[in-house]
Amino acid sequence: MRKLKAAIFISGRGSNLESLIKSTNKKNSLVDICLVISNNPSAKGLIIANKKKVPAIYVVQKKNFEKKITKYLKDIDVICLAGFMQVLAADFVNRWDSRLINIHPSYLPKFKGLNAQEQAIKAKSTFSGCTVHYVSSKIDSGEIILQKKVKILKKDNTESLSKKILIEEHKIYPRALQMVARRLLKQK
């Protein structure tokens, strides 16, 4: 069975990276994670990639970042942003149209951008959640692939809400990646 080759872009702890690697190691997975790219040389996710024997690189230069990484992506079918804290250039996003996905810690379209959990708490929202979506040139605005609501309790703060959302992220991101893989494999 043909599998899609995926690259995961990270900036930090790599918990979603770890859940994606774990899910793609299952027998029925349609995806192989072949590369991890970070814009942060001290990202803990690089350690996870190393332990899981997934090739990993880091490129800290913001200017021309996309140009520098393109040579590593020639055999890649799909890119997953997993806590990647850098806006990608519009031409790069357009080149990867329908093959570039992201996870965001809110129930989009609510609370786009940075500090989504804090935004939800400050807005006194009754729920938030997480969303896997295609990346578009507008921040957190691409077509939604999969979402999960998370109830916000009165006792919740940014930290407790973040923990609850992260648990759900680890469940829906692998499922969404498999959904995208099925769609892309049908097109081939």
Residues annotated catalytic, as ranges: 104
Per-residue b or e along 37-69, where b marks 16 or more CB atoms closer than 10 Å to that residue's CB: bbbbeebbbbebbeebebebebbeeeeebbeeb
Tokens of 19: 């859940």
- Locus of tokens 């939800």: 120
Break the chain down into helix, strand, coil percent, rounded to 5.
Answer: 35, 25, 40
Q: Which residue blocks in 34-157 are alpha helix, DSSP H? A: 44-51, 65-70, 90-95, 116-122
